[in-house]
Amino acid sequence: MSQPSSNLSPSQMKMAKYLLKRAIDYQQECSKCTISDELIERATPVLWRGENVPGNIVTVGTNPSSKEFLNQDNELLAVAKARFFIREPHVSLEEYKEDDQQLEKTIDYYRTYFARNTAYRSWFGREGGGKLEAFINGMGGSFYNSNEYTPVIHMDLFPIPTRKQMGRIKLKEELLNSDFVSNSLVDLLAFLKPSLIIVLGKEHCERIVHSQNETYLGDVKFPRDFPDAAYQVGYYSTNKIPLLGLHFKPSEQFIGLGSKRDGNGLSHGTYGSSASLKLIGEQIRKDIVNSNIES
């Protein structure tokens, strides 16, 4: 295995390895409990996606999709198409945890996720396209390399990939409210040092508010042209990092809104178009700026 490249300083790499090892320990714990059937054999934790640079924007989701590791036949992705590091068949989690070279390779996969042609674009969206990328463009950021936008990193509350969507797992609340998730969230955000945090989904807004002292989200608001796309703005931690909580997920259909029209007569289905998502992002960004929330 060749030595991976990294722009992380020695101290950053040390912290990244510490966070990864802690996630590996938790994955081992999960492999011994009732969620074991949901774990993907040979998969590794996914702490973040994207190049960590000063002043980035961080989006926070639920947990890595099985599609990040499995193909349509539920088989592990081939090496050429792999989105993240996959352990060799004979390598246990404990052996993997003690191999610095494999850990650094794993971290390199995180950093180069959006620079490779294997990113899960059906969820994140393509460069200049729709889905979450369109909303993020409206917010002034991009997952992809661009001088025009602020770099964006994605992380998940629960960094262990599962076969089912988290919403269909019976232990969902227990897992997402665990001490591990709370500690991992705080430490990873401290490591990534974002200039703005965007929480994807109403169900996670309360979790992040309770993750650290002096974190809050204000009253629920709505973009002028999209009165059913609820959001909240506030600050995260004593550092007062601007915090945006979305009550919707730009990568997914606005299923919760139903098939009706909003107060402006606009179909909820239209909310998910690239143009609409970008406009929603632009209107929310203006509100953040006018509210003096932006750092």
Q: What is the pLDDT of residues 102-143, one digit of tens each?
A: 999 999 999 999 999 999 999 999 999 999 999 999 999 999
Please state, for a pLDDT cut of 90, what percent of the chain lies above it.
Answer: 83
- The reported pLDDT for the residue numbered 290 is 87
- The reported pLDDT for the residue numbered 146 is 83
Residue 202 reports pLDDT greater than 60: yes
Residue 294 reports pLDDT greater than 90: no
Picking from 19, 23, 11, the residue whose alpha carbon sits closest to that of residue 188 is 19
Q: For residue 154, name the pLDDT band (cuts at 50, 70, 90).
A: very high
- The reported pLDDT for the residue numbered 244 is 98
Residue 259 reports pLDDT greater than 90: no
- Mean pLDDT over 195-202 rounds to 96
- The reported pLDDT for the residue numbered 198 is 98
Residue pLDDT, tens place only, 261-273:
888 888 888 898 9
Residue 278 reports pLDDT greater than 50: yes
Residue 292 reports pLDDT greater than 80: no
- Mean pLDDT over 133-158 rounds to 96
Neighbours of 241 (CB within 10 A): 19
The answer to whether the CB of 102 falls within 8 A of the CB of 24 is no
Residue 90 reports pLDDT greater than 60: yes
Neighbours of 117 (CB within 10 A): 6
Residue pLDDT, tens place only, 35-85:
999 999 999 999 999 999 989 999 999 999 999 999 999 999 998 899 999
- The reported pLDDT for the residue numbered 136 is 98
Residue 5 reports pLDDT greater than 60: no
- The reported pLDDT for the residue numbered 237 is 93
Alpha-carbon span 292 to 289, nearest angstrom: 5
Residue 187 reports pLDDT greater than 60: yes
Q: For residue 256, name the pLDDT band (cuts at 50, 70, 90).
A: low
- Residue 243 makes CB contacts below 8 A (sequence gap 6+) with 196, 197, 199, 208, 215, 217, 233, 234, 235, 236, 293
One-letter amino acid for residue 17 of the chain: K
C-alpha gyration radius of the chain: 19
- The reported pLDDT for the residue numbered 4 is 43
Q: For residue 186, name the pLDDT band (cuts at 50, 70, 90).
A: very high
Q: Map out the domains of the chain as residue ranges.
A: 10-290
Picking from 103, 74, 72, 73, the residue whose alpha carbon sits closest to that of residue 87 is 103
- Mean pLDDT over 146-163 rounds to 96
Instruction: Tell me the pLDDT of the chain averaged across its residues.
Output: 93
